[in-house]
Amino acid sequence: MRLPLKNLKLYNNCYSSASWRVRIVLNLKNLKYEYIPINILESEHKTPEYAQINPMKQVPTLDVDGQLLIESMAICEFLDENVPEPQLLFQDPYERAKIRGFCEMINSGIQPITNLSVLKWLESNNVNSMEWAQYWLTYRFSSLESHLKNTRGKYCFGDKVSLADVFLLPMIQGTVKRFNLDVTKFPNVQEITETLKGIKEFKDAHPLNQPDSKK
């Protein structure tokens, strides 16, 4: 049974790659929502008020008519289950599992490397966080590159946009400049990313197009 999605409120930060993913999916599904910015740099996500909304004190949180949903992967899957077009997790069970696996390579294998809390902890313990991040990001992006050799078409999985593309673009655009990565080492990643940049729903979700962006 599909649920009616109404009174959507997205607690997010424009620069958060996890928030960025959810914005893309909301755009692709043509869902209107209230944008509620949470300023991470000023620790708004750590306030007692926000902790009542998201006990992990992270973004994003999607409020669906009073139901609070956390974690971008769960939110994106919920939206795909209840608004079937365009389908981002394909019908074939093997393809669905492979797309989920690719998303988790980013969600679990790459994103934690870039988290401010992790980088700050490293610096406080006399570790060069930039060198550390560059090493591990290069290693993980090499894994993505190898994976895409076997799955890609125009996009990550053939010629249809999937949730894998939704996870890929924010991760690449959010880390390349920030960590001075040479994306030319990953031609499949680079080519797909350039294609995704031209899609309106992806462009509209970009941090610079959000109300809390410091343009």
103-125 pLDDT, tens digit each = 999 999 999 999 888 999 999 99
pLDDT tens profile 55-72: 999 999 999 999 999 999
Average pLDDT over residues 13-23: 96
Q: pLDDT for 138-196, tens place per residue? A: 999 999 999 999 999 999 999 999 999 999 999 999 888 889 988 899 999 999 999 99
List alpha helices for 153-186, DSSP H. 163-175
C-alpha distances (whole Å) from 105 to each of 17, 38, 143, 158 are 14, 26, 9, 18
What is the predicted pLDDT for the residue at 35? Answer: 98
CB distance 102 to 164 below 8 Å: yes
**Phi and psi of 204, rounded to 5°?**
-65, -25
Q: Based on the number of CB atoms within 10 Å of its own CB, is 84 exposed (0-12), middle (13-18) or buried (19 or more)?
A: exposed
In 3D space, the residue among 62, 63, 90, 65 whose CA is nearest the CA of residue 76 turns out to be 62
CA–CA separation, 193 vs 5, rounded Å? 30
Asked if the model's pLDDT at residue 4 lies above 90, the reply is: no
All domains in the chain, ordered by first residue: 10-86 (3.40.30.10), 93-201 (1.20.1050.10)
pLDDT at 102: 97
Alpha-carbon Rg for the chain, nearest whole angstrom, is 17
Instruction: Dig out the tokens for 200 from the structure.
Output: 């309106």
Q: Which of 97, 193, 200 is nearest to 148 (CA)?
A: 193
Mean per-residue pLDDT, 5-33:
96
Sheet holding 34-37, edge to edge: 34-37, 8-12, 61-64, 67-70
Q: Specify the higher pLDDT residue, 181 or 77.
A: 77
